[in-house]
Amino acid sequence: MTAVHEPAVTAPADALSVWPASAAEPRAGELTVGGVPLAEVADRFGTPVYVLDEHEVRERCRAYRQLFPDAEVLYAAKAFLCRAMVHWVAEEGLGLDVCSAGELELAVTTGFPPERIVLHGNAKSPRDLDTALRLGVGRIVIDSPSEIARLAAAVGPGGHQKVMVRVVPGISAGGHEKIRTGTDDQKFGLSVTDGHAQHAMARILAHPQLEPTGLHCHLGSQITGVRPYLAAVRRMTGLMARLHAQHGLVLPELDLGGGHGIAHRPGEPALDLTLLARRVRAELVEACAAAGLTVPRLVIEPGRAIAGPAGIALYRVLAVKRSGPHTYVAVDGGMSDNPRPALYGVRYAPRLVGRPGTAVPAPVTVVGRHCEAGDVVAADVELPADVRPGDLLAVPAAGAYHLSMASGYNLVGRPPVVAVADGHARLLVRRESLDDIRSRDVGL
């Protein structure tokens, strides 16, 4: 296992640096995104509510297309998916990376071309594979040896399916141990170290109905430095060279996954995408030249880096409680709509919106409404000392892994998603109601 460390690019400490580019403060205490006051969104749609800046999503898609003009860019649907998001991604020319039949069917029934979709998953169900073959998915990423025979049988002797092999390159990178997936000691992929990746490719070649198009790896999430990706390029091209020597195999694609880190708070590090694009391309060309390989087409899978900075979570303050030296500000959401602080220790920077704070900032911990001590939205942050019940708090960088990881804890219902653009707000995903929850409960 190789651990790669380097200084990360630091975001400016400006208070709005982690907000969508459209964020503005026309007057003290008022904050608009996409030309829409956030307080107006809360009044119209209720809280908790997710706000998604459509133009920010589109601009981030375009930035990837411009920075990686020769690469295939796949939006990682697991970060956040709804029909509008499918539509935006398609219009901006990106492909899709999905992890289940559910994500796949939502995309295709919305009109997304199935040939531009890649199916992932470390434990694909029969439904996942059957749906992928029925809808004509572009590529399926093989994650375990048992998938090879299952997939070959499902395709049938007269069929054809393009596949990739997910490789564990033995590189440690990512913002937390639970989101590092490039090492041998986790559930994803096939290891280079023990030869399982090479053996899997040999087994795939024994099935003529399976066409291997490339290798895939994903190092982890919230990676803020370029060097792990350069190390991955070297490891993966080395494996490509060995496969070429063993089987005469020329693989036309190399998928480096995603994991591109974003800042959740002003001053936090973020991945420099311009530097990444330049250095990865140069490293790939150099490594292939040294190995005598044709340069494969690069594939990347950004998710959080597209959706995350475009989203805001709005909460209403329910209670303010002082306990010893601590002040707790309780809101009407929490871990059922954002489990990431509890899972990964993610730290956010909530902001009072809808009125100007009339007191100096004071340290508080923003907590959720759920019956769990770990239900903390933002620990040790500063808010105006006069924060009170009824106030509105906005949490930036909340567009990824919030609704997609939301749960039914305490049966509070999942929040709606509202898109803002050009001064208008529209509902994309409605709030989950008690009727929705009751309708699933069919036994007595």
Active-site residues: which are they? 371
In the block, tokens 């092999």 appear at 165
CA atoms within 13 A on the CB side of 278: 5
**DSSP codes, 411-436:** G--PPPEEEEETTEEEEEEPPPPHHH
Q: Is 345 known to sit in a ligand binding site?
A: no
CA gap 192, 173 in Å, rounded: 17
Q: Are strands 326-331 and 297-300 parallel, antiparallel or unpaired?
A: unpaired
**CA-closest candidate to residue 257, choices 232, 274, 293:** 232
Do 392 and 316 form a contact (C-beta atoms < 8 A)? yes
Do 265 and 347 form a contact (C-beta atoms < 8 A)? yes
In the block, tokens 């509902």 appear at 427
CA gap 283, 364 in Å, rounded: 46
Beta-bridge partner residues of 393: 315, 352
Q: Is 303 known to sit in a ligand binding site?
A: yes
Q: Are strands 351-353 and 95-98 parallel, antiparallel or unpaired?
A: unpaired
Q: Are strands 376-384 and 326-331 parallel, antiparallel or unpaired?
A: unpaired
Q: Is 259 known to sit in a ligand binding site?
A: yes
Cα separation of the two ends of the chain: 52
Q: Is 340 known to sit in a ligand binding site?
A: yes
Q: What does DSSP assign to residue 293? A: -
Q: Is 389 known to sit in a ligand binding site?
A: no
Q: How far is Cα of residue 13 from the mean position of the Cα atoms in its chain?
A: 24
User: Is 98 in a helix, a strand, or coil?
Assistant: strand
Q: Which residues are annotated as a binding site?
A: 259, 301-304, 340, 344, 372, 401
Q: Which residues are annotated as a binding site for substrate?
A: 304, 340, 344, 372, 401
Q: Which residues are annotated as a binding site for pyridoxal 5'-phosphate?
A: 259, 301-304, 401
